[in-house]
Structure 1
Amino acid sequence: MKISWSAYDTFEANFKPLVVIELAENTRDETKEWLTQKIVEKKKNGGAQLLVKPLVEDGKKIDGNQNIYLVGASHLRLLLGAETVGLVKECNDNTMRTFTYSSRKTFKNFAEDNHDFLTMAECQYIIKHELENLRAKDEKMIPGYPQAKLYPGKSIMRRLLTNGILVHIFPLHDTEELKKLGHTWYGQLKISYQPLNEICSYFGETIAFYFAFLEYFTFALVPMAVIGIPYYFFAWEDYDKYVMFATFNLLWSTVILEVWKRCCAVMAYRWGTLLMKRQFEEPRPGFHGVLGINLVTGREEPVYSSFKRQLRIYLVSLPFVCLCLYFSLYVMMIYFDLENQVYLYHEENQSDLSSLLLYVPSIIYAVVIEVLNRIYRYAAEFLTSWENHRLESSYQNHLILKVLVFNFLNCFASLFYIAFVLFDMKLLRQSLATLLITSQILNQCVEAILPYWLQKRRNKTVKKKVKSLEIDTDLSLFEQINLEKGMDTYLGTFDDYLELFLLFGYVSLFSCVYPLAAVFAVLNNVTEMYTDALKMCSIFKRPFSEPTANIGVWQLAFEAMSVISVVTNCALIGMSPQVNALFPDSKTELILIVVLAEHLVLAIKFLMAFAIPDKPQDIRIKLARLEFESLEALKQQQMKLATESLKE
């Protein structure tokens, strides 16, 4: 189908592509025409009032590209959209306020002809918001697809996605900005802070907060690493001297998370997300059910029984998770049997080969753990999707809970068994070192090296294909879109946070018996900064900016791990020979004192969490001032209305 560009250029001739929409190859012409018309239609008529342009125009169809459309918007449309989504920008008086078009001239760097007032990531977020809010009015189905039912209020893009008509929707990279960012971010080896403001401006707050936490966690590990190096070498075989290190570990794991909350609040205020109002959450694309009325919005949408969902969770998902946990423990016992056999072999032979074989079971077990974690992740995603959660936040919370429980048991159960059942500190040190180092090597290979190599091969193939085509359109844009279309889709920060969570567990739980754990964690995180930056800029499609004010549920996950670390380190201190020597006659008294000490430390921990404000004082003052000004403005508006009504 030949689409005339002039038919859609209803706003301005200077079109800047921001978002790419790719439809399925066999998408019918009437569907394309209907969708593009919906995108450009005025808001009052149920459209998005955006600009859309085919990738290849004037009737020149190239295989694989005739279903690709570029979406943009006029400057005015983006400003109005910024008000709709509630973007927060800096004003001329250096305060952060929610942007409104009527007061646009009070914002810093605003000018009618300044098209850089909104960042490209913000513009793409606005377009995504408008596309997702394209809703059916009188349509009963998607034209050309009778099975794709529609009803008033149904999100059109979500229906296209769930029916396989919409293949991809992704924001375009800004090649010049990406090159600058890449050079300052990972293009040179140097000891410096990451360009977090630039990362936030380009990729959005969700990605920026991950890299901010990665950087913060790395610096927080440095004191542990600095203390751990001399501690390790001066007490190589003296396992009785880990009491002081365990005590420091208790304080460290508590303080760093409380300080992070304050750092998080400062960044969220600077980036404008601390003041953003939470949008009403729409049903996730995979949610399905019988058509009914939402009691909150009054709109028609699928309704699914909460009772049925609970039955699926407790009668299917929970038993499956328990079965997986049992299987993980069974594999762990096989590992200990193998460890015992290798140890007996070493006792009999006492050779260099037998000494090396002592590390083989731990290496094999570390590989098995990584494989099991990844297989279970797919099963957890399937189960959580099958539970049919209405909201994306609910889906993510249930998925994270499933994955964290299994990963925690799979990665740490053997260490708990060695420490508190076998009481073998030497084996604990060996197992912790092997698991930590092996998992780091595997993660770097799977997450960075392999994807980078595959992407380089794909890029070469696409470039050859593009150069072989004789087309008159802009080759650089055409090539860029084809390269980005072939990139992997970034699935979010879930796996990245999970890796840091497990690393935090290795360090906070048992590093007192292997002080070099923090050293390897620092080295891993420094490498992770560069490899993750490379992934974001070169391997994955550009993700849409997602405003957020913190790291979400992961804050609770790390705090839960810190609580477990208190219990673990107190138990390790109680097991130390120095402490046992103080209670030679009464083990019951020792246990009671250890439990009392553990409760005391937990009380201090929760007291610190309560006493240390989550937001610095200057941020709290600024928020209170804004709230006061809002209330005063509301009062004045009400008084004005009351005065006018009295005059009438």
Structure 2
Amino acid sequence: MGDPNVFEMVEAEAINTSREEDSDFQIIESLSTSTGETSFLITEPRKFPKHKQSKDSIFLRDGIRQIDFVLSYVDDVKKDMELKMERRKEFQLNLCKAGLELEIEDKQDSEDGKTYFVKIHAPWEVLATYAEVLGIKMPVKESDIPPPERSSWNCVLEPLKLPRNVNHPHPEYFTAQFNRHRQELFLIENKTTFFPSSSRNRIVYYILSRCPFGTEDGKKRFGIERLLTSNTYLSAYPLHDGQYWKPSEPSNPVNERYILHKNWARFSYFYKEQPLNLIRRYYGEKIGIYFAFLGFYTEMLSFAAIVGLACFIYGLLSMKNNPSSLEICDPEIGGQIIMCPLCDLVCDYWRLNSTCLASKFSHLFDNESTVFFAIFMGIWVTLFLEFWKQRQAKLEYEWDMVDFEEEQQQHQLRPEFEAMCKHRKMNPVTKEMEPHMPLYNRIPWYVLSGATVTFWMSLVIASMVAVIAYRLSVYATVASFMESETSLKPVRSVLTPQLTTSLTGSCLNFIIILILNFFYEKISVWITKMEIPRTHQEYESSLTLKMFLFQFVNYYSSCFYVAFFKGKFVGYPGKYTYLFNVWRNEECDPAGCLIELTTQLTIIMTGKQIFGNFKEAIYPFILNWWRRRRSRTNSEKLYSRWEQDHDLESFGSLGLFYEYLETVIQFGFVTLFVASFPLAPLLALLNNIIEIRVDAWKLTTQYRRPVAAKAHSIGVWQDILYGMAVLSVATNAFIVAFTSDIIPRLVYYYAYATNTTEPLKGYINSSLSVFLISDFPNRTAPSEKRGITTCRYRDYRYPPNHDWKYFHSMQFWHVLAAKMTFIIVMEHVVFLFKFLLAWKIPDVPKDVSERIKREKLMTVKILHDFELNKLRENLGLNSNLFAKEVMIQENKLQLAKSTM
């Protein structure tokens, strides 16, 4: 399908068919007075004067032919003006030869006085020809399959439903791939409205992307994308149906943009379902499946958010009675425990009860419900992915996408690939010569691509190390201030040195993340283009891999550091571990590192969501406002529909890519570290409720209408989600075991507790080891001398009077064994549930499978009956020949039934 020769053959057939069926068709050359360029227009008398045309008209000047696509350009007097004029002339001539009808608006009639607009209309003959080429399925008979039975839940969910005429604007049909030689088979009531506008603009874009505009170095140049890249044209876009704030006039087609804005893109409808069928009809399946995925993900998040909120409430209610924080805050226990200095020389000794409030806040997220929630989320993510596969299968059936990948997606070449290829190779499937790029031409770019991704990931790691160095230096400074003269007095402060550096370090890390993202996005897109991927699917897969690997490291590296490395390699007083032999490694709070992981996760996740929504909503709004303000210099002129859309922001071919990437990164925050922050699903839920309406609003009001594209699934993102789901089980198990304080408390409860009425009494004292101050090296001991002989530090080591002085105690090995046992047990239990659920839940629901088989059978039967009727008409009285053909057709039908 991607070979330019195919375009030439279809072009010739389309123009011949058009000329045969339309005797009034002729191409003339008319000279544009402003530019000297030759335009190729269809001669038809103008139905009404230009000045009487409505500014919201979506028709050519005759008021009959609908505008399917618009190209815009300006006179470029600075660079290659004549070359660009020649390319436009050749391109537009070839478009007309392909059967498209063009009409040019002179720059004198545009509001800014400098932009030309080429309006394109695809007549019926062209639509019919290319609908067959693209395998577009169209209705042949109204479906007789009864809708699913209404359950008792429907009454409860009725307030969340949209009116049926909005969500299901058309009845269900049996469909078949369009064939212009079998037009009588299809339900064609009106040729002008038979193909929806999304199919029309998809067909026109297919022609534009393969239309030649000249030769260079003996190679044919073609495709609108190359003309846009060289600034020969400024933009190429399909028109919106009309204004989003008012319906269309009765004589015009239904304004689906207005219906979408009224029922979908309004924040007051945040609790309503999405009109997915209308979204798919207006924007195409690719955008429709994204909103279906985002909506389903949001629905599933509601269950996780409820359970996470319940776990948080449990922690809140039990915070006052937490034995660990009670001991830390008790003046007779925590107030009497003198802790070793947090840094060398400048830091003083401090009392344990100074972290009283921090220990209480830590209990909010580090309690008994943490284990339950970690296991629950491991099962939730499996249910989400398995139910999404079912939902996706249902959409494939409803949107006629069951056989799409096999027929279309793998065989369409990128125009850029075709233009760059000098070699040809026979396709073993189609047995046709296709453009081919040898591997030795790709290897240098693959090497550069891998080196670039590795370099930027290394840059992220280096930035994280720099932030750690910042945290250590600030940590020492804050500790020296907070633990000066008042450090040995009974004080209670929530801003411990650990929490203070965690807050400032997280904010700094978030700023670095945004800066690195900005630069890497530009570089990754450029490198992916230089790899010259063969198909659009290969292009998106390559870019997805680069962007995801980088953003995974960029967003999650700091969380991995706090969860699995901070406080694990500290050493002990007198033998601390140093970063670059300068800064002493960070210690965790006596209540554990989980509160710091929660802080890090909250700042990055919340900051990313707020910044993302601001960027998505405010940025295009401001750009569009400024663009309209700058362009509307002649308010007395008609501000036409195509000019209004021209002044909107372009959605771009990668618009959905960044939406998916944002959602997948959020999915990582919700699953990978959820054991440390049970409110993460709730934050994600609230964000996604807003995100759906923000995306709908900006797509409907602030962006040009994207070219419709087909997609039967979310593509490579589904594999990424599966990978993150598996990884999340391991990360949450390790967080509970090594970052949380639950396992040490359980070991103490069952193995070391001496108080039967209050088993956890004495746990804090048990978790702190004793250090003899006289054993401090001179360079680490506080400069201010005090009458203290010992201090405490968080670890399980023998005291200085033991034979194994400062070696790990037996309790340390018991705790370590318990942690490893918990990880193994939790992973096996969760994975067992995951595999059982994945095995039990079918990928395609039974009712959908039956509907697919029924539709295939009915389609074959309809085609069978159509062919028989056609044979009867053609063969007439030759009954023997007719009977023979009937037997052949009956055998085909029986064979089709047997394969269902």
Same-fold call, TM cutoff 0.5: yes
Task: Say if 1:221 and 1:518, in contact at 8 Å, map to a contact too.
Answer: yes
- Give the structure 2 partner of residue 172 of structure 1: 239
What is the alpha-carbon distance in structure 2 between the residues aligned to residue 148 and residue 124 of structure 1? 32
Are 2:603 and 1:553 aligned? no
Q: Is the 8 A contact 2:390 2:842 kept in 1?
A: yes
Change (3 A) 1:155 1:294: farther
Q: 2:422 aligns with which of 283, 286, 291?
A: 291
- TM-score by structure 2 length? 0.63
1:223 aligns with 2:303: yes
Q: 1:62 to 1:344 in 2, by over 3 A?
A: closer
CA deviation map 1:464-485 (0-9, x unaligned): 324154xxxx65335435434x
Cα distance in 1 for residues equivalent to 2:84 and 2:541: 38
Paired position in structure 2 for 1:340? 472
1:44 aligns to what? none
Listed one character per residue, the Cα deviations across residues 511-551 of structure 1 (whole Å, up to 9, x for unaligned) are 22111211211121122122212221222221101111111
The residue aligned with 1:255 is 383
Aligned match of 1:131: 208
> 2:455 aligns to what?
323
Which residue is 1:369 aligned to?
513
CA-to-aligned-CA distance 1:483-504 (integer Å, 9 cap, x gap):
34x6564632111111111111
**Structure 1 unaligned runs (5+)?**
42-46, 137-141
Aligned residue in 2 for 1:139:
none
Larger Rg: 2
Q: d(CA) in 2 for partners of 1:457 and 1:302?
A: 44
User: 2:265 maps to which residue?
Assistant: 186
Give 1:522's aligned residue. 685
1:601 aligns with 2:830: yes
Q: How far 1:282 moved relative to its partner?
A: 3.6
In the alignment, does 2:140 pair up with 1:81?
Answer: no
Shift of 1:68: 2.5
Letter in 1 for 2:65: F
CA distance in 2, matches of 1:346, 1:298: 73
Deviation at 1:250, TM superposition (A): 0.7
Partner of residue 445, structure 2: 312
Q: Distance in 2 between matches of 1:149 and 1:95?
A: 49
Q: Distance in 1 between matches of 2:602 and 2:442?
A: 42
TM-aligned CA deviation for residue 232 of structure 1 = 2.0
Deviation for aligned residue 1:358:
5.0
Q: Is the 8 A contact 2:410 2:535 kept in 1?
A: no
The Cα of 1:415 is off from its aligned counterpart by 1.2
Listed as ranges, the matches of 1:346-425 within 5 Å are: 346-350=478-482, 359-422=503-566, 424-425=593-594
Structure 2: tracts of 5 or more residues without a match? 1-30, 33-38, 47-59, 76-80, 144-171, 243-254, 316-360, 483-492, 568-592, 752-810, 872-880, 889-900
Q: Secondary structure at the match of 2:552?
A: helix
1:496-535 alignment, distance < 5 Å: 496-535=659-698
**Counterparts of 1:559-598 in structure 2 under 5 Å?**
559-575=722-738, 576-580=740-744, 581=746, 586=814, 587-588=816-817, 590-591=819-820, 594-595=823-824, 597-598=826-827
Alignment of 1:152-171 (within 5 A): 155-157=222-224, 160-161=227-228, 163-171=230-238
* Matching residue within 70, 92, 107 for 1:36: 92
Contact between 1:452 and 1:539, CA under 8 Å: does it hold in 2? yes
Shift of 1:132: 2.9
**Is the 2:70–2:239 Cα contact (8 Å) retained in structure 1?**
yes
Find the aligned partners of 1:359 and 1:450 in 2 and give their Cα distance: 28
Q: 2:623 aligns with which of 439, 454, 467?
A: 454
Deviation at 1:162, TM superposition (A): 5.6
For residues 261 and 285 of structure 1, the distance between their equivalents in structure 2, rounded to whole angstroms, comes to 32
Give yes or no for the alignment of 1:483 onto 2:647: yes
Q: Tell me the distance in 2 between the aligned counterparts of 1:193 and 1:133.
A: 39
Q: What does 1:28-67 correspond to in 2, within 5 Å?
A: 29-41=85-97, 47=98, 49-56=99-106, 67=116
The alignment partner of 2:565 has SS state of helix
Cα deviation for residue 568 of structure 1 reads 1.0
What SS does the aligned partner of 2:655 have? coil
Structure 1 window deviating more from structure 2 (626-635 vs 17-26): it is: 626-635
Name the amino acid aligned to 2:362. Answer: E
CA contact (8 A) 1:78 1:123 kept: yes
SS of the aligned residue for 1:98 comes to strand
Contact 1:384-1:399 within 8 A present in 2 as well? yes
Q: 1:445 to 1:103 in 2, by over 3 A?
A: same
Contact 1:170–1:543 (8 Å) recurs in 2: yes
CA RMSD between the two structures? 3.5
Structure-2 separation of matches of 1:67 and 1:530 = 34
Q: Greater CA deviation, 431-440 or 338-347?
A: 338-347
State how many pairs are aligned.
Answer: 620
Give the Å deviation of 1:292.
Answer: 2.3
Residue 370 of structure 1 aligns to a residue whose secondary structure is: helix
Q: Which of 282, 287, 292 is matched with 1:212 structurally?
A: 292
Local SS of the residue matching 1:594: helix
Aligned to 1:97: 175
In the TM superposition, what is the alpha-carbon distance from 1:229 to its structure 2 partner?
A: 2.3
Take 2:260 and 2:285, find their aligned partners in 1: how far apart are those partners?
A: 16
Tell me if the contact between 2:424 and 2:436 (Cα under 8 Å) persists in the aligned partners: yes
Q: What residue in structure 1 maps to residue 216 of structure 2?
A: 147
Q: CA 1:481/1:335 → structure 2, altered by over 3 Å: closer, same or farther?
A: closer
**Post-superposition CA distance 1:437-481 (Å, at most 9, x none):** 11112212222212212212222333x324154xxxx65335435
**Partner residue of 1:21 out of 71, 87, 100:** 71
After TM superposition, give the deviation of residue 69 of structure 1 in Å.
0.8
> Do structure 1's residue 494 and structure 2's residue 622 form an aligned pair?
no
| Change in 2 beyond 3 A, CA 1:612/1:96 | farther
Shift of 1:363: 1.1
Decide whether the 8 Å contact of 1:17 with 1:71 is kept in 2: yes
Residue type matched to 1:523 in 2? L
Structure 1 CA distance, aligned partners of 2:559 and 2:642?
53
What's the counterpart of residue 843 of structure 2? Answer: 614
Q: What is the CA–CA distance in structure 1 between the aligned matches of 2:453 and 2:883, rounded to whole Å?
A: 61
Partner of 1:52: helix, strand, or coil?
strand
| 1:595 Cα deviation after fit | 3.1
Q: For 2:547 and 2:864, how far apart are their aligned partners in 1? A: 49
Distance in 2 between residues matched to 1:148 and 1:336, nearest whole Å: 55
Cα pair 2:72 2:115 within 8 Å, conserved: no
CA distance in 2, matches of 1:89, 1:646: 28
- Asked whether the 8 Å contact 1:98–1:275 carries over to 2, the reply is no
Paired with 1:231 and 1:396, the residues of 2 have a C-alpha distance of 39
Q: Is the 8 A contact 1:55 1:65 kept in 2?
A: no
TM-score (norm 1): 0.85
Measured against aligned partners, the alpha-carbon deviations of 1:17-70 in whole angstroms (never above 9, x if no partner) come to 1101234633655544432232222xxxxx2x121111239x979876564211
Secondary structure of the corresponding residue to residue 543 of structure 1: coil
How far residue 187 of structure 1 moved from its aligned partner, in angstroms, is 3.0
Contact kept? 2:106, 2:116, Cα under 8 Å: no
Deviation at 1:333, TM superposition (A): 1.7
CA deviations over 1:583-612 (Å, ceiling 9, x no partner): 865535752562354245335424433442
Does structure 2 conserve the Cα–Cα contact (< 8 Å) formed by 1:22 and 1:169? yes
Partner of 1:116: helix, strand, or coil? helix
Identity of aligned residues (%): 25
Shift of 1:613: 1.8
